[in-house]
Amino acid sequence: MDPDGGGSPAVPTPSASTAGAPDAGAAAVEEGGGKQVLVVLVGPPGSGKSTFAEAILGGSGAGRHWARVCQDTIGNGKAGTKIQCLKAAADALKEGKSVLLDRCNLEREQRADFLKLGSHVHVDVHAVVLDLPAKVCISRSVNRRGHEGNLQGGMAAMVVNRMLKKKETPLLTEGFSRIMFCKDDNEIKKAVDMYNALGPSDCLDPGIFGQTTKGPIQVGIMKFLKKPESSEKSSGPKVTPSESMPQMQNHFSKQKTLEAGGTCPVEGENNKKKIEEQSRESIPSDISSRTLAFPSISTADFQFDLDRASDIIVDAVSIVLQKYDNIRLVLVDLSQRSRILSLVKDKAAKKNINSSRFLTFVGDITQLHSKGGLRCNVIANAANWRLKPGGGGVNAAIYNAAGEDLHRATKECADTLRPGSSVTVPLPSTSPLHQREGVTHIIHVLGPNMNPMRPDCLKNDYTKGSKILHEAYTSLFESFVAIAHNSCIEKQNTEPVLEKPVTGVTSPTDLKMKRGCSYDSERTKKHKLVQPNIPSNQAREGDNKRSGVTSTKTWGSWAQALYELAMHPENYKNSDSILEISDDFVVLNDLYPKAKRHVLIVSRRDGLDSLADVKKEHLPLLRTIHSAGVKWAQKFLEGDSSLVFRLGYHSVPSMRQLHLHIISQDFNSSSLKNKKHWNSFTTTFFLDSVDVIEEINQHGSANISSDDRVLAMELRCHRCRSAHPNIPKLKSHIANCKSSFPYHLLQKDRLLSSSTMHMDCS
Partner DNA sequence: GTTCTAGAAC
310/458 Cα distance (integer angstroms):
18
Residue 420 contacts DNA per CB under 7 A: no
The single-letter DSSP state of residue 656 is: S
Cis amide leading into 419 (omega within 30): no
Instruction: Candidates 208, 727, 757, 759: give the one binding DNA (CB under 7 A).
Output: 727
Determine the interface stretch with DNA among 129-137, 254-262, 491-499, 648-656 (rule: CB under 7 A): 648-656
Whether the CB-CB separation of 650 and 664 falls below 8 Å is answered with no
Is the Cβ of residue 229 or residue 499 nearer to DNA in the bound state?
Answer: 229
Determine the interface stretch with DNA among 13-21, 217-225, 452-460, 668-676 (rule: CB under 7 A): 668-676
252/258 Cα distance (integer angstroms):
11
Tell the smallest beta-carbon distance from residue 726 to DNA (Å). 3
Is the Cβ of residue 177 or residue 474 nearer to DNA in the bound state?
Answer: 474
Instruction: Candidates 17, 521, 550, 627: give the one binding DNA (CB under 7 A).
Output: 521
Whether the CB-CB separation of 715 and 726 falls below 8 Å is answered with yes
Is the Cβ of residue 387 or residue 655 nearer to DNA in the bound state?
Answer: 655
Is the Cβ of residue 98 or residue 560 nearer to DNA in the bound state?
Answer: 560
Instruction: Candidates 150, 671, 701, 740: give the one binding DNA (CB under 7 A).
Output: 671
Task: List strand residue ranges (DSSP E) for 51-206, in order.
Answer: 66-70, 98-102, 124-130, 178-182
Tell the smallest beta-carbon distance from residue 618 to DNA (Å). 20
Residue 589 contacts DNA per CB under 7 A: no
Instruction: Candidates 653, 720, 721, 752: give the one binding DNA (CB under 7 A).
Output: 653
Instruction: Candidates 218, 726, 740, 756: give the one binding DNA (CB under 7 A).
Output: 726
Instruction: Show the binding pattern over residues 556-585: x = contacts DNA (CB under 7 A), - = does not.
Output: x-xx--------------------------
How far CA 341 is from CA of 297, 365, 448, 662, in Å, comes to 12, 14, 19, 42
The single-letter DSSP state of residue 292 is: E
Residue 677 contacts DNA per CB under 7 A: yes
Q: Which residues contact 307 (CB under 8 A, 6 or more apart)?
A: 343
333/614 Cα distance (integer angstroms):
41
Is the Cβ of residue 27 or residue 712 nearer to DNA in the bound state?
Answer: 712
Instruction: Candidates 189, 308, 512, 631: give the one binding DNA (CB under 7 A).
Output: 512
Whether the CB-CB separation of 84 and 76 falls below 8 Å is answered with no
Binding footprint of DNA, residue count (CB under 7 A): 28
CB atoms within 10 A of CB 595: 22
Strands 723-724 and 715-716 turn out to be antiparallel
Is the Cβ of residue 108 or residue 677 nearer to DNA in the bound state?
Answer: 677
Q: Which residues contact 254 (CB under 8 A, 6 or more apart)?
A: 364, 367, 397
598 in active site = no
364/342 Cα distance (integer angstroms):
17
223/531 Cα distance (integer angstroms):
52
For Cα atoms 340, 343, 347, give the angle at the middle one, nearest 5 degrees: 140
Determine the interface stretch with DNA among 131-139, 143-151, 153-161, 519-527 (rule: CB under 7 A): 519-527
Tell the smallest beta-carbon distance from residue 733 to DNA (Å). 12
Is the Cβ of residue 272 or residue 673 nearer to DNA in the bound state?
Answer: 673
Q: Which residues contact 232 (CB under 8 A, 6 or more apart)?
A: none
| Chain mean position to CA 610 | 32
Catalytic residue among 618, 659, 733, 744: 659
Instruction: Candidates 214, 273, 527, 616: give the one binding DNA (CB under 7 A).
Output: 527
Instruction: Candidates 337, 526, 545, 758: give the one binding DNA (CB under 7 A).
Output: 526
Tell the smallest beta-carbon distance from residue 543 to DNA (Å). 18
Instruction: Candidates 234, 728, 735, 740: give the one binding DNA (CB under 7 A).
Output: 728
62/376 Cα distance (integer angstroms):
56
Tell the smallest beta-carbon distance from residue 526 to DNA (Å). 5
Residue 238 contacts DNA per CB under 7 A: no
Residue 706 contacts DNA per CB under 7 A: no
CB atoms within 10 A of CB 522: 7
Residue 228 contacts DNA per CB under 7 A: no
483/377 Cα distance (integer angstroms):
10
Instruction: Candidates 494, 533, 582, 674: give the one binding DNA (CB under 7 A).
Output: 674
Residue 422: which H helix or E strand, with range?
A: strand 421-426
Considering only residues 530-559, where is the footprint of DNA by CB under 7 A? 556, 558-559
Residue 236 contacts DNA per CB under 7 A: no
625/616 Cα distance (integer angstroms):
15
DSSP string covering 227-276: PPPPTTT--S----TT----S-SSPP-HHHHHHHT---SSS-S-HHHHHH
Is the Cβ of residue 143 or residue 278 nearer to DNA in the bound state?
Answer: 143
659/563 Cα distance (integer angstroms):
10
Instruction: Candidates 654, 697, 736, 755: give the one binding DNA (CB under 7 A).
Output: 654
Determine the interface stretch with DNA among 61-69, 473-481, 624-632, 670-678 (rule: CB under 7 A): 670-678
Tell the smallest beta-carbon distance from residue 513 to DNA (Å). 9
Is the Cβ of residue 445 or residue 658 nearer to DNA in the bound state?
Answer: 658
Instruction: Candidates 375, 618, 650, 733: give the one binding DNA (CB under 7 A).
Output: 650
Residue 675 contacts DNA per CB under 7 A: yes
> Which residues in this chain contact DNA in the complex, by CB under 7 A?
512, 515, 519, 521, 524-527, 556, 558-559, 591-592, 650, 653-655, 671, 673-675, 677, 680, 712, 725-728
User: Known catalytic residues?
Assistant: 659
